[in-house]
Amino acid sequence: MVIGSGIAGLSYALKVAQHGSVVLITKNELSETNTSYAQGGIAAVTEPFDSYEQHINDTLIAGARLNDESIVRMVVKKAPNAIKSLTDWGTNFDKTSDGSLDLAKEGGHSAHRILHHKDNTGFEIQRALTEQVKSHPNITVLEHHFAIDILTQHHLGQDIKRKSGNVECYGVYALNLKQEAVDTIIAKTTFIATGGIGNIYQTTTNPRIATGDGIAMVYRAKGVIENMEFVQFHPTALYHPQERPSFLITEALRGAGAILKNHKGETFMSKYDERGSLAPRDIVARAIDSEMKLNGEAHVYLDGTGIKAEVWKEHFPNIFKKCQELGIDVLRQSIPVIPAAHYLVGGIKVNEEAKSTIKYLFAAGEVTSTGLHGANRLASNSLIEALVYAEIAAENAIDMLHRIEYNKAIPEWDYKGTTETEEMILITQNHKELMQIMSNYVGIVRSDLRLKRALRRLEIIYEETENLYRRSVVSKEICELRNAINISYLTIKMAMNREKSIGLHFNIDHQ
């Protein structure tokens, strides 16, 4: 049983399908994933001028050495083979004129090691894997199926404790969104690959599917979740509140000479870092956040009017076109920009065998916390982490398959007492409030007071929503809201528990 159709879910399904039948559910269409939106590429050591040690070191430096070094070593060393699986499945990466891989270099990497396909690598990976999965005879794909909760002893009426270590997973309750009925899907092993959490924030680069469902399900099932305080924000997304996900303005634009300015036209970055607009991602994101809070403004500006028209058209045609569509003439006007929630480092704790703390439940991809990233993610290390861990999970799931029986005692979904169809406004308003709380108090810059206030506000929304959930007909919207509240709670609590600012977690009271 696989939940999720991004790089982790699809590659895992293809590996285990060689040994048995697989059902893969996804809450939207197969291709609506964070994976499809990935632009830059996927990191791996593939050439002799590079080395594992360099990739390991770069990853440790980015992660402020909070990484688990043994995991970093394992992932970096397994990366080249995992890439081979991707190309065997038909993924194309750009090549140079002599036929070798056209490797890019990104911030924080000491060598050219980013495999890419134009500036839409994720889309190409998704295309290739989707084709393979759709044509595989052992894989049944169920689109528009929303996983509500994983099945455990709790559903057999037993009381389970978080620290007991003996929770078992028997499959999942999934809402068939077309038929509006809940299916009970029993499985020997379950693999969660439900991706990130961007949609708990007002501005995000993540598509709407990223509501942290997998993390919330595992938390409710008493599994261990960790490192939720480490949320990566991209410093410059296009400020256009009507649009979700936010359009990404690449950092390369600042490299080409674009300068950050506030509403008064001041070039504020030099106040924060001597490298000005070219400071690293986290510093720029924090500076923008601080400038917005100081002046009470909803965004800042990125002034690219000094960049020649030829450079704009040759190197940044998509940004040029996008701004043009919105009536922004980038040759004469600055672009309004805002930091956006981009990537979650923490999540479901898994060990080096991709096992969660719940028996028969594996996980990989953005939904997990593996120890690879430490306190911050090195660019292009997330797709490779998902791919490597999906492969590890597949090996271990296959290994245990013959020792597990289906648990046929699991009851069907209980519809009792859930007869009301609530007005949608009750759900959407609470979701809006939640995003405001998270963006204003638990965003890039935190403080003890902001975190405390966030928790108090969240408690009200939590109580209202649990009440609503208990009496309402189950729907994707109410489940997503409930999940978003659960993961927001975990993010706030873990931010409160972190004693010192490090990596992506910055608290002005604990610097």
Chain residues binding ligand FAD by CB under 6 A are 3-9, 25-28, 32-35, 37-42, 121-122, 146-147, 193-195, 205-206, 209, 213, 248, 343, 365-367, 380-383, 386
How far apart are the C-alpha atoms of 195 and 152, rounded to whole Å? 22
Active site residue 281: yes
Q: How far is the CB of 209 from ligand FAD (least distance, A)?
A: 4
Q: Supply the DSSP string of 189-200, one letter for each residue.
A: SEEE-----GGG
Q: Starting from the edge strand earliest in sequence, which strands make up the sheet with 181-186, in order?
A: 145-151, 171-176, 181-186
Q: Which helix (H) or strand (E) holds 475?
A: none
Residue whose CB is less far from ligand FAD, 12 or 268 = 12
Closest listed residue to residue 126, CA positions, set 41, 37, 199, 206 = 37
Q: Is 4 left (phi over 0), alpha (psi -120 to 50) or beta?
A: left
The β-bridge partners of 337 are: 238, 300
Distance CA 345, CA 371 (A): 9
Give yes or no for a cis peptide into 80 (omega within 30° of 0).
Answer: no
Q: By three-state DSSP, how is residue 460 classified?
A: helix
CB of 86 to ligand FAD, least distance (A): 12
Shorter beta-carbon distance to ligand FAD: residue 217 or 258: 217
Query: How many Å apart are CA 421 and CA 437, to the nearest integer?
Result: 27
CA distance 92 to 87: 7
- Identify the three-state secondary structure at position 486: helix
**Between 7 and 238, CB nearer to ligand FAD:** 7
Q: How is residue 271 written in tokens?
A: 């106040």
Least gap, CB of 487 to ligand FAD (angstroms): 12
Q: Give the shortest CB-479-to-ligand FAD separation in angstroms.
A: 7
Provide the β-strand partners of residue 355. 362
Distance of closest approach, residue 175 Cβ to ligand FAD, in angstroms: 8
Q: Which is nearer to ligand FAD, 16 or 383 (CB)?
A: 383
Query: Whole-angstrom Cα distance, residue 215 to residue 405?
Result: 25
C-alpha 318/C-alpha 468 separation (Å) is: 43
Cα distance between residue 443 and residue 440, in whole Å: 6
Q: Extract the tokens encoding 438.
A: 């998270």
Q: Which is nearer to ligand FAD, 123 or 272 (CB)?
A: 123
Q: Which is nearer to ligand FAD, 210 or 461 (CB)?
A: 210
Of 128 and 269, nearer to ligand FAD (C-beta) is 128
Active-site residue among 65, 73, 208, 281? 281
- The structure tokens listed for 296 are 């009470």
Active site residues: 281
